[in-house]
């Protein structure tokens, strides 16, 4: 059973806090987490673009959702880079 991806909330969106939480538990950030976070953000972009072009007030809620998805994507990517730096001394991203 896959575990709940609550690391973003537990770390309050901080890459550094998330990195230390991961290190404490010995876990990893699978590349799929980054891909899923990106897919979550990208699936909102077409509708968001249309709402922004139309200057619709409905864009505000969707824009907030998009922003959170973008923050999560960057968060997981940042932790992944820090873990690679720790393991290999360099990152490929």
Closest of 89, 65, 86 to residue 16, by C-alpha: 86
pTM score above 0.85: no
| pLDDT per residue as tens digits for the range 19-57 | 998 888 767 777 887 888 888 889 889 999 999 999 999
Contacts (Cβ under 8 Å, ≥6 apart) of 27: none
| pLDDT per residue as tens digits for the range 2-15 | 455 688 888 999 99
Instruction: Give domain limits for the chain.
Output: 30-93
Tell me the C-alpha distance between 40 and 66, whole Å.
8
């Amino acid at each position: 059973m896959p575990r709940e991806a609550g690391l973003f909330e537990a770390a309050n969106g901080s890459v550094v806090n998330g990195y230390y939480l991961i290190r404490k538990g010995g876990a990893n950030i699978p590349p799929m987490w980054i891909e899923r976070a990106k897919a979550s953000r990208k699936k909102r972009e077409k509708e968001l673009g249309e709402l922004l072009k139309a200057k619709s007030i409905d864009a505000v809620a969707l824009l907030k959702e998009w922003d959170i998805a973008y923050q999560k994507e960057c968060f997981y990517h940042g932790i992944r880079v820090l873990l690679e730096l720790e393991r290999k001394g360099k990152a490929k991203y």
